[in-house]
Amino acid sequence: MSARAGEAGGEQLGLDLPEPVWCQRWNDRRATWRRTSEGGFDPALYRCVPLEAGPARRFVTRHHYSGSWPAVRMAFGMQLRTAAAGPGEPDGGRLVGVLALGVPMSKGVLTRVFPSLEAYRESVELSRLVLLDEVPSNGESWLCAAGFALAARRGVRGVVAYSDPHPRTRVTPLGAEVVMPGHVGHVYAAQDFAYLGRSRPRRLVILPDGSVLTDRAAMKVRRDESGHLGVERRLQGFGARPRREGEPGGLWLAEALEAVGASRLEHGGNHVYARSVGPRRTRVVVAPTSYPPPRPPH
């Protein structure tokens, strides 16, 4: 997989290495990379704590390339014990990572994988996993293990995770910049997730910053549903004109997407992973057939 990547020191270099050689980090919506062979992660320096929605949302929207916060049931923070908590963060250390477990677009995402579990209460989607670039390599495995243990205490028994293999770019004055190079999900395979194949292919609307305008967001504008103003403001931020009073949402949306230079992506489907969590994991049924996890291209 070729990608523009930066190591901890900020040096930019071109990569042409298998994905498992690198682990991804984020800072101010820009991806950086660390070699997994670096190691250096000391769990004694970190703690995992439940997070309120406010600090979790602020951290993720500031650092993740999408700048978005999905429907989340619970979130867990990774704190560096040796640094003071920042403004609005819980005491106990500075926030350097967030794991968010949430609600997928469709209930069937969960029930197809975990037919014996109650969707949204016992089964959830891994919605966001965001670590700052200062966290040593392999810290994501520790955060997932610690977060899953805390989630299990709240009744969660199964987690579904998706890995998007399609790169994302953002438009800058200097041209297109890769903000997410695409992944096959080796971080999940390394944590005993079962690989379940690909989700259904679909067509995505990609905005200039590399984020996706979901079908649900577009429908809010077309139907004037709750939340449509937030979607409209998001498109105005890219240069779309304000919607006139009484103007049909569908007509305005079509013009706005053309004005901001949105593109369409024929997406072949995300890689799908799942695992049970908590005590007596083997008693949880994972319905679909599992396969050997995919290997990244060389």
pLDDT for the residue numbered 6: 33
* Dihedral sign for Cα atoms in the order 189, 26, 176, 19: negative
Section 201-219 average pLDDT? 89
Mean pLDDT of 59-76: 91
Q: What is the pLDDT of residues 120-145, one digit of tens each?
A: 999 999 999 999 999 998 899 999 99
At 269, give phi and psi (nearest 5°): 105, 145
Residue type at position 55: P
Tell which residue, 182, 159, 148, has the closest CA to residue 296.
182
Which pLDDT band, with edges at 50, 70 and 90, does 18 fall under?
Answer: very low
pLDDT at 78 over 80: yes
More confident of the two residues 272 and 184: 272
Average pLDDT of the chain, as a whole number: 86
Burial of 125 (0-12, 13-18, 19+ CB in 10 A): buried
Instruction: Supply the pLDDT for residue 297.
Output: 53
Would you place residue 10 in the very low, low, confident or very high pLDDT band (cuts 50, 70, 90)? very low
CA–CA gap between residue 231 and residue 204 (Å, rounded): 16
* pLDDT tier, 8 (very low <50, low <70, confident <90, very high otherwise): very low
Residue 148 or residue 34, greater confidence:
148
Q: Which domains does the chain have, with CATH numbers?
A: 2-200+270-279 (3.40.630.30), 208-261 (no CATH)
% of the chain residues with pLDDT over 90 = 56
pLDDT score at 16? 42
pLDDT value at 4 more than 50: no
DSSP secondary structure, the chain, as one string: -EEEEE-TT--EEEEES-GGGEEEEEETTEEEEEEGGG----GGGEEEEEE-HHHHHHHHHHHSTT-----EEEEEEEEETTS---TTSPSSSEEEEEEEEE--S-THHHHTT-TTS-BTTTEEEEEEEEEBTTSPTTHHHHHHHHHHHHHHHTT--EEEEEE--S-EEEEETTEEEEEE-----HHHHTTTPEEEEEPPPEEEEE-TTS-EE-HHHHHHHHHT-TTHHHHHHHHHTTTPPPPPTT--HHHHHHHHHHHHT-EEEEE---EEEEEE-SSSGGGS---SPPBPPPPPP-
Q: Are strands 123-131 and 158-163 parallel, antiparallel or unpaired?
A: parallel
Q: Is the dihedral of CA 114, 115, 116, 117 positive or negative?
A: positive
Q: Check residue 2 and give its pLDDT.
A: 27
Question: Tens digit of pLDDT for each residue in 142-199?
Answer: 999 999 999 999 999 999 999 888 777 777 777 777 767 677 788 888 888 999 999 8
pLDDT surpasses 70 at 5: no
Q: For residue range 36-56, list pLDDT tens digits in order.
A: 778 889 999 999 999 999 999
pLDDT > 60? residue 12: no
pLDDT digits (tens, 9 = 90+) for 219-265: 999 999 999 999 999 999 999 999 999 999 999 999 999 999 999 98
Q: What confidence category does residue 21 fall into, taking pLDDT thresholds of 50, 70 and 90?
A: low
Query: What is the reported pTM?
Result: 0.79
From the number of C-beta atoms within 10 Å of its C-beta (0-12, 13-18, 19+), residue 161 rates as buried
User: Quick one: average pLDDT of 73-88?
Assistant: 95
